[in-house]
Amino acid sequence: MDTPKDKSKWKQPGFWIKEILTLVILFSVVSFAVDLWRSQDMPNEQLPNAALQDLSGETIDLVALSEDKPVVLYFWATWCGACKFVTPTVDWLAEDHEVVSVAITSGSNDRVSAYLQHHDLKFATINDERGSLSGMWGVRATPTIVIVKDGKITSITTGITTPPGLLARLWFA
């Protein structure tokens, strides 16, 4: 049975700060564990050796692109529900950072181009029509975001992420 003293703790700011901090720590630990599990088949540091060509026909060299500053490699799909929340953040990042995206099993080049145009997305996109590139990278979930710096993978995250979370990954790369 609650005593009057027990009920008053709910009204104290310190109680709520402690509760919220506990939830944030728990959420962070679970998110880290899920990312670790989902990325276990992905390369640790070295990039898979693959020629990348975007929808406009340009060849993309991730090693060269990541020499001066980190590159966001964004695996997504037109059919991915979570990608609808993450894609605007990635597009926003593309204004100031190098972003290369990989559209996984999302249809023909024309279909992916139409999707990008309809949603006014400006980042470079590689169409992985059959999923072979994402398979080579060991991608198990969409969206997956890989940060590449100096030709090495510095960070991998899967699922929904926030703008501050992505910026932090770029800053620590």
Is residue 75 within a helix (H) or strand (E), and if so which, with residue range?
A: strand 71-76
The percentage of the chain sitting over the pLDDT mark of 70, rounded to a whole number, equals 83
The DSSP code sequence of 95-164 is: TTSEEEEEEES---HHHHHHHHHHTT--SEEEEETTSHHHHHHT--SSSEEEEEETTEEEEEEES---HH
Quote the pLDDT of residue 31: 64
CB 16 within 8 A of CB 113: no
Across the range 103-123, mean pLDDT stands at: 96
The pLDDT tens digits for 22-38 are 887 776 666 666 655 55
3-class DSSP state of 77: coil
137/19 Cα distance (integer angstroms): 39
Residue 6 reports pLDDT greater than 70: no
Cα 132 from chain centroid (whole Å): 19
Quote the pLDDT of residue 36: 58
pTM of the model: 0.77
The pLDDT tens digits for 132-148 are 999 889 888 899 999 99
Quote the pLDDT of residue 43: 63
Sequence-distant (6+) residues with CB within 8 A of 161 are: 86, 89, 143, 145
pLDDT-derived band at 155 (thresholds 50, 70, 90) equals confident
Residue bearing the bigger pLDDT, 65 or 27: 65
pLDDT-derived band at 92 (thresholds 50, 70, 90) equals very high
CB 137 within 8 A of CB 119: no
